[in-house]
Structure 1
Amino acid sequence: MEQREVTVRFCETDALGHVNNTSYFIYLEEARIHFFSSMGYPMDVKRWNFILASTKCDFTNQGYFNQVLTITTSISRIGTKSFELEHQILCAQTGNQIAKGNAVIVYFDFEKQTSAAIPEVLKSKLEVHAAQGGAAI
């Protein structure tokens, strides 16, 4: 399981004083980029083979300015052309869940403009990561 911390900036809150719903998707994106980098796939647009097919976020509690949030990322499913990530956004101080998210990532051949089978080397890394995080494959 990968873990990332973010501190809520003032610009990420709204008139009601809590984190705006769109900000959570930015946090999840940051967690995904960190996840890919930790797997040996840093952001390099010339060698990038992933597209975000679907993303979702459920808001379970309110987050506030200057609150430290911990975002965990784990693998919940590995298919032949895609895999799924699960995210938890927790208050770093209390451990209370603030939100939970999900993302479907497709392995993509940009030259052919079509999805492609996940290469065995990547699939093996995903399986090891999933096993270490306790996620089901």
Structure 2
Amino acid sequence: MDQFIQQHAIITEIPVAWGEMDALNHVNNVVYFRYFETARIDFFSQINMMADLKETAVGPVLSETHARYKRPVTFPDTLLVSVNISDVKEDRFIMHYRIFSKAQQAVTTTGTANVVMFNFKTGQKAKLTPELLAALEQHKVAE
């Protein structure tokens, strides 16, 4: 766990809720996308993207998302969800998620999201600001 924490600058801790398990007694597949969403919003808040959205009406939308399930997760557990960035372009980037189970001491799930910047006033794609580009570069992984 310590190695996982040292490898990632931004980690969101999420407790597994009993109600997130399905009839097969493991966390339902759709819940992982909620975990990704929680980590994504936490990441965006930490790099001030959410504050920028309120001021400029320019913010992130998902164009694609993916999950790979490596190990089942069950209640009780606490998960650490990391976010890294790659493929930064002028109007988009890719987020990479890794979910680490404290109970299993292992990565259980990985995922990605293609994020496109969007101007909610005009309904058009938008460019990343220089400030957001710099913040994303700080969390970039090798492509």
Compute the TM-score of the two structures, normalised by the length of structure 2: 0.85
Whether contact under 8 Å (2:68, 2:110) holds in the other structure is yes
> Greater CA deviation, 25-34 or 63-72?
63-72
Alignment partner of 1:125 is 2:104: no
* Matching residue's letter, 1:41: M
Answer yes or no: is 1:20 the counterpart of 2:28.
yes
CA RMSD in angstroms comes to: 1.7
Mark the runs of 5 or more structure 1 residues left unpaired by the alignment.
Answer: none
Counterpart in the other structure of 2:46? 38
Please say if 1:61 is aligned against 2:50.
Answer: no
Which shifted more, 6-15 or 116-125?
116-125
The structure carrying a bigger helix percent of its residues is 2
Structure 2 unaligned blocks of 5 or more: 1-8
Q: Structure 1 residues 43 and 18 mapped into 2: Cα distance closer, same or farther (>3 Å)?
A: farther
* Identity of matched residues, %: 31
Distance in structure 2 (CA, Å) of the matches to 1:85 and 1:12: 24
**Which of 17, 23, 46 is 1:9 aligned to?**
17
